[in-house]
Structure 1
Amino acid sequence: MKEQEIKNIIFDLGGVIINLKPANTIDAFARLSGISKEEVTQKYLHDEHFKKYEKGLISDEEFRSYLKNMTGCDSDKDLDEAWNAMLLDVPQERLELLKDLRKHHKLILLSNTNDIHLKCFTEILEKENDCSIDEFFDHVYYSHQMHKRKPDADIYEQVLNEQQLEPEETLFIDDNADNIAGAANLGIQTIHITGETTIIEVFDEGE
């Protein structure tokens, strides 16, 4: 990354700003349903209901109805808690980094998410960090409100066009390799966050 050429930074949310542990949700669904974690994983990773929910193409009620059929659990509260179990904490140092970066860059949030997760994430930030995610970005984009999801090209194109961003002047940071490839195909500069790296280390290395 040539930082002097970067004017805009697009951040993913889960796994980049908020810590994630998807295994927690798989474990919770396995407990609720009595089926194996492997079977839950297969459904969790590959069933179209999850993609449709991220695109806002089905409602919270329709998504919960699918989960009820999958798990045999009739409690909305238990299903929401299981679905949100993957959402952990937001280290304060990451929020401080966003504040510093925003002094010299336009910051955009672009997340594949859904209404249940967004409500939970908002509560986590309010309770643990006493803030809102909107405070740290010039604009926020959520897949379920856009009816698009990464890594499809149209979601990146919408952000570039609406925010008047030049791809070569824009950096995209995500923890999903497919999402990184989708952005790179449009000429956007990218950084892939893996389990061995955080955004703190990425920008420390750039100094």
Structure 2
Amino acid sequence: MKTINTVIFDLGGVLIDWNPEYVYLEVFEGNREKMDWFFKTICTQDWNENQDAGYPLQKATSERIALFPEHEDLIRIYYDRWEEMLGNAIEGTVDILKSLIGNTSYKVIALTNWSHETFPIALKRFDFLHWFEGIVVSGEEKTRKPFKDIYELTLKRYNINPEESIFIDDNLRNIEASRELGINGIHFESPKTLREQLKHYSINI
């Protein structure tokens, strides 16, 4: 194994807690079954990920309302109250990030699936987002993980040798895609587990 000199972080679910349940569980008055149906049928993960790849939020909302007019109010909530779905920083991971930033042995980059329209909200809220050498935001690039081109773009833009880099993401699908390009990957589960996993790559922080 080559020495790791670049660490690439996902953001949502790794450094930042984001969950639409924070809004919709209240909207559905605690009825998780109804909420789950809504996410599986109307405002689905695939639908949201399309906006992460740069699709306009207003257009996406209007199109979804046209398909499900009887649920217009619920659909509008998704992006009207998006900021309320944004939780706190995952402090244990932020501590790891801070240690890496303070070590000149590592280049530290972020690669995130995030709408370019909502990402500025996160930039204002979380100071640590300004610590990175660079952040690749899927919505700005009009593509997203796990598609090959966003990994290749990241490697090229920041002059990264895949074999000398490690990518941390809470979505196993995205890790598997990065490994196909030779990037080492860690499937994030918790800050404590991440510290232990980094030791396998001789990163002791």
TM-score scaled to structure 2, two decimals?
Answer: 0.78
Q: Confirm whether residue 133 of structure 1 aligns to residue 122 of structure 2.
A: no
* Identity over aligned pairs, percent: 25
Tell me the CA shift for residue 96 of structure 1. 3.7
4+ runs deviating over 6 angstroms: none
Q: Does 1:203 align with 2:203?
A: no
Alignment of 1:40-51 (within 5 A): 40-42=38-40, 43-45=42-44, 47=46, 49-51=47-49
CA-to-aligned-CA distance 1:64-104 (integer Å, 9 cap, x gap): 3245555312996x443543443210144533432320222
Instruction: Work out the CA distance in 1 between the residues paired with 2:23 and 2:148.
Output: 28
**Within 5 Å, which residues of 2 pair with 1:49-68?**
49-56=47-54, 58-66=55-63, 68=65
Q: Which amino acid aligns with 2:51?
A: Y
Corresponding residue number in structure 1 for 2:16: 18
Cα shift readout 1:138-169 (whole Å, capped 9, x = no counterpart): 11110000111000111101111121111110
Whether 1:121 and 2:128 are equivalent positions in the alignment is: no
Match of 1:38 in 2: 36
**Matched residue, 1:7:** 5
How far apart, CA to CA, are the structure 2 residues paired with 1:174 and 1:74?
30
Residue type of the partner of 2:129?
Answer: I
Q: Which residue, 157, 168, 172 being the options, matches 1:173?
A: 168
1:83 corresponds to? 82
Q: Is the 8 A contact 2:14 2:90 kept in 1?
A: no
Residue number in structure 1 paired with 2:157 = 162
Note the residue ranges of structure 2 that are not aligned, 5 or more in a row: none
| Number of equivalences | 190
Whole-Å separation in 2 of the counterparts to 1:93 and 1:46: 26
The CA distance in 1 between the partners of 2:176 and 2:156, in whole Å, is: 19
Deviates more, 1:7-16 or 1:109-118: 109-118
CA contact (8 A) 1:60 1:115 kept: no
Secondary structure of residue in 1 paired with 2:44: helix
AA of the residue aligned to 1:183: S
TM-score (structure 1 length as normaliser): 0.77
CA contact (8 A) 2:57 2:79 kept: no
Cα deviation per residue 1:11-30 (whole Å; 9 max; x = unaligned)?
00001001233433553665
**Structure 2 SS opposite 1:178:** helix
Q: What letter is aligned with 2:60? A: F
* Aligned-partner Cα distance in 1 for 2:39–2:194: 31
**RMSD, aligned CA:** 2.8
Distance 1:112 1:15 in 2: 11
